[in-house]
């Protein structure tokens, strides 16, 4: 699958089949995170792989009762072991760098026929308690991973290109 195909067909999967994720595919997804770029090559991302059924159920509760999160056979708890490095522009690097690693995982998952969904609705303290994650580790996103119950593509609702692109100077929009 080409990159452009993966980007076009990736969707937020909120219903998963019972089919287990093969270890080889899981490893390919994790490898995609490992290869991500990061500020100063700090590689602050840390990924906790949760497959245990009881733990997934507890993560559903930590995610405000989003049942589909636990329906997935794997939940990737995407974290940062970070010194809260600030880039020169003033932003912390860790949310951006973990996002890059997650994006890599979502696209490789798509290529492998797997589905994911970015989950920012969770209580980080509850997630730490469920998984034994130390206080100093930042929990950035949950990423359920599994085979989609419905593999059909969806059409995405997105702004038009001329609503998001400016040319040469900010005041110049349109094509």
Total residues at interface with a second copy (CB under 8 A): 80
Question: Which of 17, 61, 95, 149 contacts a second copy by CB under 8 A?
Answer: 95
Rounded to an integer, what distance in angstroms lies between the CA atom of residue 52 and that of residue 102? 21
103 counts as binding a second copy under rule CB under 8 A: yes
Question: CB 149 → a second copy: shortest distance, Å?
Answer: 19
Closest distance of CB 141 from a second copy, Å: 8
67, 123 in Cβ contact below 8 A? no
Rounded to whole angstroms, the Cα distance separating 52 from 128 reads: 16
Q: Contact between 155 and a second copy (CB under 8 A)?
A: no
Identify which of residues 45 and 68 has a Cβ nearer to a second copy in the complex.
45
Are 29 and 109 in contact, with CB atoms under 8 Å apart?
yes
User: Which residues are CB-neighbours of 17 under 8 A, at least 6 positions away?
Assistant: 146, 147, 148, 149
Least Cβ distance, residue 108 to a second copy (angstroms) = 5
Per CB under 8 A, 167 contacts a second copy? yes
Binding to a second copy, residues 116-135 (CB under 8 A): 118, 120-124, 131-134
> Of these, 24, 152, 164, 174, which contacts a second copy (CB under 8 A)?
164
Tell me the backbone φ, ψ of residue 109, rounded to 5 degrees.
Answer: -55, -45
The answer to whether residue 136 forms part of the interface with a second copy (CB under 8 A) is: no
Q: How far is the CB of 152 from a second copy (least distance, A)?
A: 17
Residue 18 within binding range of a second copy, rule CB under 8 A: no
From the list 109, 93, 125, the residue with the least C-alpha distance to 30 is 109
Query: What are 39's two structure tokens?
Result: 């500020």
Residue 54: phi and psi, rounded to 5, are -65, -40
Residue from 8, 17, 57, 149 touching a second copy (CB under 8 A): that is: 8
């Amino acid at each position: 699958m080409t990159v452009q195909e993966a980007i076009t067909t990736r969707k937020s999967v909120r219903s998963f089949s019972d089919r287990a994720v093969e270890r080889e595919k899981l490893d390919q997804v994790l490898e995609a995170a490992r290869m991500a770029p990061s500020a100063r090559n700090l590689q602050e991302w840390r990924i906790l792989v949760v497959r245990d059924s009881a733990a997934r159920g507890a993560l559903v509760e930590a995610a405000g009762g989003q049942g589909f999160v636990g329906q997935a056979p794997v939940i990737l708890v995407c974290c940062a072991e970070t010194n809260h490095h600030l880039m020169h522009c003033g932003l912390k690097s860790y949310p951006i760098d973990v996002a890059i690693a997650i994006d890599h995982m979502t696209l490789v998952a798509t290529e492998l026929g797997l589905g994911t969904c970015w989950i920012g609705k969770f209580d980080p303290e509850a997630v730490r308690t469920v998984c034994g994650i130390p206080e100093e580790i930042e929990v950035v996103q949950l990423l359920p991973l599994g085979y989609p119950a419905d593999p059909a593509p969806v059409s995405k609702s997105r702004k038009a290109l001329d609503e998001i692109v400016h040319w040469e100077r900010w005041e110049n929009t349109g094509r």
